[in-house]
Amino acid sequence: MPAVKRLIVSLSTKNITTKASVPPCWSDGDRRCCDEGAGATSAYAYRKRLDGGYTIATAGANLHPLVPDTLAFYRDFQPARQAESESVQVGLSAQSWRELFELTPVPLDRPGAFERHRILDPRPDPRSVLRAFKAARRDLPALRGVEPVQMWAGLIDVTPDVVPVISHAETVPGLVIATGFSGHGFGIGPGAGHLVADLVTGDAPIVDPTPFRLSRFSDGSSIEIAPPV
């Protein structure tokens, strides 16, 4: 469905898991950290895990692999790219070459890209992950005696205006789309799920769904970048 595919760009984020005891809350310039919960600086962010360890993530560093859709929809996403400044790094990856060879349409009775890629599990970038871990070690002495136990990455689906699509697909009766949460799906998921249920059942929507309509990208509406959350 090109109308849906047009809206989304994928960004991979990087994280690292370690075991340590982090000191109590403290603040110094742009650094704000707190033992019970989470903390963040301009170089990294961390969150306490239920198993006693900590997840340390790169702060504002995302990778976007160059794929055919990058060129096809460059103009649509350029305002968002400019707003993110240097937090989005663009480059070639294995995904770049894989999607290049997936341009040819596949008959519906044969496996295609969606059958081959059921689970999106991108590889983390060890350099940026370890850079964040090094910065965390510098600030938090408790981390200096521990080593990472796991590195992982995930995908963020982003729309041109960084606002989710929660909407009927007007060209496909009965289809309701909820996507493009731009990294905030975990936080707004309950409300989004309620709105989706309302749209599916025909109940009065919990909030006005107009700002989230799919057609805003094709009806001539002015696309403005949402402010940071």
The verdict on residue 121 lying in a domain is yes
Question: pLDDT tens across 75-112, in order?
Answer: 888 888 888 767 788 888 888 888 888 888 888 898 88
Q: Are 60 and 137 in a shared domain? A: yes
The verdict on residue 5 lying in a domain is no
Q: Are 151 and 183 in a shared domain? A: no
Q: Are 118 and 164 in a shared domain? A: no
The verdict on residue 1 lying in a domain is no
What is the structure's pLDDT at 17? 62
Give pLDDT < 50 ranges for the chain.
Answer: 1-12, 23-28
Last residue in a domain, options 104, 121, 156: 156
Q: Are 60 and 72 in a shared domain? A: yes
Q: Are 141 and 51 in a shared domain? A: yes
The mean of the pLDDT values for the chain is 81
What is the structure's pLDDT at 31? 52
Question: pLDDT tens across 95-105, in order?
Answer: 888 888 888 88
Q: What is the CATH number of the domain that holds 104?
A: 3.30.9
Residues with Cβ within 8 Å of residue 218, at least 6 apart in sequence: 3
Quick one: DSSP state of residue 104? Answer: S
Q: Are 50 and 134 in a shared domain? A: yes
The whole domain housing 134 covers: 10-156
Last residue in a domain, options 106, 132, 156: 156
What is the structure's pLDDT at 224? 83
Last residue in a domain, options 156, 182, 200: 156
Nearest alpha-carbon partner for 136 in 18, 17, 44, 33: 44
What is the structure's pLDDT at 16? 62
Q: What are phi and psi of 162, to 5 degrees?
A: 65, 25
